[in-house]
Chain A
Amino acid sequence: MVATASRSQRWRVLRRSPTFWVGGFLVLMWVVFAVFGDFVTPYEPRGTPQDILNRLQPPSAEHWFGTDDLGRDVLSRVLAGSRQVLTVAVSATILGTVLGTFIGLLIGYYGGLIDDVVSRVLDAFLSIPLVITGMLALAALGPNTIGVILVIGLVFTPIIAKTVRAAVLSERQLDYVTAAQLRKENSLYVMFVEILPNVWSIVIVEFTVRLGYAIFTVLALSFLGFGVEPQTPDWGADIFQHYGQLTGRVWWPVLFPAMAIALLVVGVNLLADATSQAFE
């Protein structure tokens, strides 16, 4: 009987799952804002010097989400903030996935000493929680978007490498790999043409799952004040700047970015969940 699903079967499962559509909608919405933000925002997100006169205004007809403590329109900053998060998180996840898949393939295929050594190094990296590594690196690098992408991408590499390695190890047991060795196939061909297509679905699922964590980590780091260039609209940094105001009942510069975060991460997560269901 047929054991593996085909691409069209997977699409059918995806299309029928409500989580896919809800998640997809939420993510798409933010992607649109990220790309077209400049045309959609009612005010300049980075603010103008005159805005300071208008600071901390509650939500009103002119400013639906109110203004922040520098007088900037919160709605505009929320819409524009998606760009920062998405650019960094997506790039970092792609970087980590590419590197991690490469490493996982290599050590899974060759095994032996290379596997032992590299796995120990990966374990060492994984002993340190992501946020802390990010914090350290960014403390050194200073506010630097490229730096954040590199750091998070590199920090994700070990865990993706481990997942890919596990999948490669189980593929390696199968006879088609032995058959390839029996025609003296070169190793790169076996890794990338024979094995990779079979672990590809695992890679896709890892990507969508890590994307959620990437967003999470990016936001946590910017909340803690690392890695964001000043004035850039960023949900995490904006929350950090304003949460002290909560005691004064100034809730709007904090709540709206927080809701934006919730919508995005839940969207990404639903997508990831739907994808892993389809690829099961």
Chain B
Amino acid sequence: MTTLPALEVENLAIEYKIGTEWKTAVRDINFTVEHGESYGLVGESGCGKTTIAMAIMHYLSRNGRVSEGSIRLKGREFVDLSRRELRRARIDDISMVYQDPATALNPSLRIGTQVADVFELLGVAASEHHRRVIDVLKKVQIADPARVVERYPHQLSGGMLQRVVIAMAIASEPALLVLDEPTTGLDATVEAEVLDLVASLRDEIGTSVLFISHNLAVIRKMCDRTCVLYAGRMMAEGPTEEIFTEPRHPYTVGLLRCLPNPDVGSRDEMSLDTIPGFLPPLGAEIRGCVYVDRCAMSQDICIEVEPGLNDVGGGRVSRCHFPDEAPNLPRTVAADPVERKRSDQTLVEIKGASKTFMQDGHPVYALSNIDLAIKVGETVGLVGESGSGKSTLAKVLLGIHTPDDGTVITLSGEELASELERRGQEEIGAVQMVFQNPDSALNRRHSVHRIIGRAVQLLRGGRRNEREDRIKSLLREVRMGMQHYNSKPRHLSGGLKQRVAIARAFAGSPALVVCDEPTSALDVSVQAAIINLLSELQVEENVAYLFISHDLNVVRYIADRVAVMYLGRLMEVGTSDRVFSGPNHPYTEALLSASPELADDKRIRLEGEIPEPSNPPSGCVFQTRCPRKIGEICETVEPELVEAEPGWFKRCHIPVEELRAMQMGASA
């Protein structure tokens, strides 16, 4: 017996009304999600993946409409359903999980009420509601469903909320489950949990999954087949493994080359490749291939004729005139890394850094006794999840937060005042910051040259024409042309804005730049360019970086040494090679296993939630979740940060040989 595919999308085109005109956002979309299959839609921002998802859910915004094509759910045409039939389909056949679980739930209703809705809609008897709610919450591995049912959304963590949303979605055992960036806002370990949950539920219930994400690693892990989207068109489609290991489209090849991963090695071995150029504007009429402006192997025919989806074998299709040439795509950026001089001289030393905030009268222990040294020209990667204190540490270093007494920070041997106001001009210029969000980091009302110029004026001084020269040379250093000199931030793309922010940070020739998730808000192709830029600047200016990131691959690529933080404490510190090869502190081990590319097959699961910084556990702060906990000593005595091997520090009671045996020995 053949079962109907869960979803069939045929010749779908969607338009948006901009001003008074309708512009095509998405065109020629054809794909099928078979029964029980997991299908991924992947692409960068503006590729149309969310638009397609919303069209499938029949929830386009008021200025959007399906202009062509058909969407069939279990064989039934979905595009023109009556109101009642649409409601019925939403109850029985299709469910969605959203990007931000905190806003996806009604803040004024208890969790139990919101989950019970689904059962009410399914026609379950009222007396049965409570039992069914508890059951479905157990299914999504919520440990204490009876208590969660009484809670309001603001009382639960992001991971917990997402489980609730998943519970609501699977309660009806729908034919199709649509997930739109379901783990983007979550911590790494929580993300891994949620993804595992989705995979196991899929096996159990047999529901089909449409998975939408910009994260290639997650798609690779979760989907049987994948479609790569660009500017509202399908670029490539096929079995996920083949798409990623044997790509047949220059865009896919380009994307994969942008990502740091274990094969690429570190920045001392190879530079990341980038994809030059920009997305075409919405609704632009392009005669030929929509990717032609950014493609390094484009030919005349690509400008004239749009390629169809050509079969390239192995179940793959590719919208390219020369798919077999794709793996040989010429690089935009030379592969050779930049030569670096390493120094042993200590630049910044942080000793005993602690920071306690007061919140509603309760102390919040954001940082506890941190010791960290950064050498001249070195990159120290700082990793940790929410509540780890990594941002607080950066702000203490910069003088934005005043640390508790007893903290000593030295710069080139001289003690640095703990408050920004008391630091001298030179000291201020020596320690600067690049922020996560370029929209927030630049004053929307100031032009590029004023933004950089003011920093130059205050951090460097000099006469008018000297300052102008400096602004121009900074723009050159960040590879920006003079055409942006008078532009305001709203005229610039995310990548360009971040370059301006970097130029500003370098205005006073700093010795140390704190980079706080500098690429997290950017698209993949842009991330690579910024990472390369930071890499080159480091060599040219001999500057040190404190590089904060939640993306372990990026940290592995760019950092010389890595420090892992948990609940305001350093858990492990060592060189990048050492930390990423192991053996590790149990927390680091769990973090590494949560990252899809870095993990081997076994996944370390962490039970429970990250504790509140206002109420840290006794003994070792990690003991409440540590899978390698050895016993009472972990609960009563907090371990010291100890140099267990030359240059490698751990805060754990377990001796390193045992860790080695546990983590690298026979696991069977």
Most buried by A among B421, B441, B507: B441
Q: When the two chains form the complex, which single residue of B400, B440, B442, B504 contacts A181, counting CB atoms closer than 8 Å?
A: B400
Judge whether A183 and B454 touch: CB under 8 Å.
yes
A179 near B444: Cβ-Cβ < 8 Å: no
A182-B400, A183-B459 as given contacts; A198 in contact with B425, CB under 8 Å: no
B437 to A175, Cβ gap below 8 A? yes
Measured between beta carbons, the chain A residues less than 8 angstroms from B455 are 179, 183
Q: Which of A178, A194, A197 has the most CB atoms of chain B within a 10 A radius of its CB?
A: A178
Q: From residue B80, how far is it (CB to closest CB) to chain A in Å?
A: 31
A176-B490 contact, Cβ under 8 Å, with A183-B459, A184-B425 = no
Which of B429, B433, B436 is in CB contact (< 8 Å) with A179?
B433
Contact, CB under 8 Å: B435 / A179: yes
> B residues within 8 A CB of A183?
428-429, 454-455, 458-459, 507-508
Q: Is the CB of A176 within 8 A of B443?
A: yes
B563 smallest CB distance to A (angstroms): 22
| B199 CB to nearest chain A CB (Å) | 33
A178 CA / B439 CA spacing, docked (Å): 13
Determine, out of A2-10, A25-33, A157-165, the stretch whose residues face the partner at the interface: A2-10
Chain B min CB distance to A109 (Å): 14
Tell me whether A181 and B443 are in contact (CB under 8 A). no
Residues from chain B with a CB closer than 8 A to the CB of A197 are 443, 445-446
A175/B441 in contact, CB under 8 A: yes
Taken residue by residue from 162 to 203, chain A's Cβ proximity to chain B (1 for < 8 Å, 0 otherwise) reads as 000000000000111011011111000000001001100000
Which residue of B is nearest A6, CB measured? B490
Contact of A182 with B425 at beta-carbon distance under 8 Å, contacts A3-B490, A174-B440, A198-B444 already known: no
Q: In the complex, are the beta carbons of B444 and A4 less than 8 A apart?
A: yes
How long is the Cα–Cα vector from A182 to B428 in the complex, in angstroms?
Answer: 7
Smallest beta-carbon distance A8→chain B, Å: 13
The reply to whether the CB of B408 lies closer than 8 angstroms to some CB of chain A is no
Question: Which B residues touch A178, using CB under 8 A?
Answer: 400, 433, 435
Bound together, the chains give a CA A118 to CA B420 distance in angstroms of 26
Interchain CA distance A221-B45 in the complex, whole Å:
58
Residues of A contacting B423 with CB < 8 Å? 184
Q: How far is the CB of A84 from chain B (nearest CB, A)?
A: 38
B442, B445, B455 — which one has the most chain A CB atoms within 10 A of its CB? Answer: B445
Chain B's closest residue to A183 (CB) is B458
Q: Is B432 an interface residue (CB 8 A)?
A: yes
- Measured in the bound complex, the distance between the Cα atoms of B43 and A247 in whole Å is 77
Given A3-B490, A6-B490, A182-B400, verify A175-B435 contact (CB < 8 Å).
Answer: yes
Residues of B within 8 A of A194 (CB): 443, 446
Does any Cβ of A come within 8 Å of B398's Cβ?
yes
CA distance A162 to B420 in the complex (A): 29
**Bound complex: CA of A184 vs CA of B398, how far in Å?**
12
- The chain A residue sitting closest to B441, CB to CB, is A175
Q: Does the CB pair B445–A184 fall under 8 Å? A: no
CB distance from B421 to the nearest CB of A (A): 8
Are A198 and B443 interface neighbours, CB within 8 A?
A: yes
- In chain A, what residue has the closest Cβ to B493? A1
Q: Which residues of A have CB within 8 Å of B400?
A: 178, 181-182
Measured CA separation A182–B445 after assembly (Å):
19
A: interface residue count bin: 10 to 19
Q: How far is the CA of A47 from the CA of B597 in the complex (A)?
A: 91
A6 to B429, CA, bound (A): 33
The 0/1 profile, CB within 8 Å of B marked 1, for residues 125-169 of chain A is 000000000000000000000000000000000000000000000
B488-532 vs A, Cβ < 8 Å mask (1 yes, 0 no): 001000000000010010011000000000000000000000000
Does A198 contact B435, Cβ atoms closer than 8 Å? no
Q: Measured between C-beta atoms, what is the minimum distance from B415 to chain A in Å?
A: 18
B440 touches A176 (CB 8 A): yes
Which residues of B have CB within 8 Å of A181? Answer: 400, 420
Q: How far is the CA of A186 from the CA of B501 in the complex (A)?
A: 20
Which residues of chain A are within 8 angstroms of B443 by Cβ–Cβ distance?
A: 176, 194, 197-198
Encode A191-225 as 1/0 by CB contact (under 8 A) with B.
Answer: 00010011000000000000000000000000000
What residues of chain B lie closer than 8 Å to A6, measured between beta carbons?
490
- What residue in chain B is nearest A2 (Cβ atoms)? B490
A4 to B432, CA, bound (A): 28
Q: How far is the CB of B16 from chain A (nearest CB, A)?
A: 12
What is the minimal beta-carbon distance from B445 to any residue of chain A, in angstroms? Answer: 4
- Determine whether the beta carbon of A182 is less than 8 Å from that of B444: no
Q: For A174, what are the chain B residues with a Cβ–Cβ distance below 8 Å?
A: 440-441
Closest partner residue, chain B, to A5 (CB atom):
B490
Within 8 Å CB of A198, what residues of B?
Answer: 443-445
**A182 lies within 8 A of B433 (CB):** yes
Shortest Cβ distance from residue A279 to the other chain B in the assembled complex, whole angstroms: 14
Most chain-B Cβ atoms within 10 A of its Cβ — which of A3, A6, A176, A181?
A: A176
Set of chain A residues within 8 Å of B440, measured between Cβ atoms = 174-176
Which residues between 39 and 89 of chain A lie within 8 Å of chain B, taking CB atoms? none
Q: Which residue of B lies closest to A176 (CB)?
A: B443
**A21 vs chain B, min Cβ distance (A):** 20
Contacts of B454 in A (CB 8 A): 183, 185
Look across to chain B and name the residue whose beta carbon is closest to the beta carbon of A198.
B445
CA distance A194 to B443 in the complex (A): 7
Give the complex CA separation of A27 and B455 in angstroms.
45
B376-420 with Cβ < 8 A to chain A = 398, 400, 420
- CB–CB B490/A182 < 8 A: no
Chain B nearest CB, measured from A16 CB (Å): 11
Complex contact B439–A3 (CB within 8 A)? yes
Closest B residue by C-beta to A12: B19
Complex Cα distance A181/B419, Å?
11
- Chain B residues with CB below 8 A from A2, complex form: 490
Closest to A189 in B: B454
Closest to B427 in A: A184
Can you name 21 A-B residue pairings with CB atoms under 8 Å? A3-B490, A175-B436, A175-B437, A176-B440, A176-B441, A176-B443, A178-B433, A179-B441, A179-B455, A179-B504, A181-B400, A182-B398, A182-B400, A183-B428, A183-B458, A183-B459, A183-B507, A185-B454, A185-B458, A194-B443, A197-B445
Residues of B whose CB lies within 8 Å of any CB of A are: 398, 400, 420-421, 423, 425, 428-429, 432-433, 435-437, 439-446, 454-455, 458-459, 490, 501, 504, 507-508
Closest 10 CB pairs of A and B: A197-B445, A175-B441, A175-B435, A175-B440, A176-B443, A174-B440, A183-B458, A184-B428, A2-B490, A183-B455
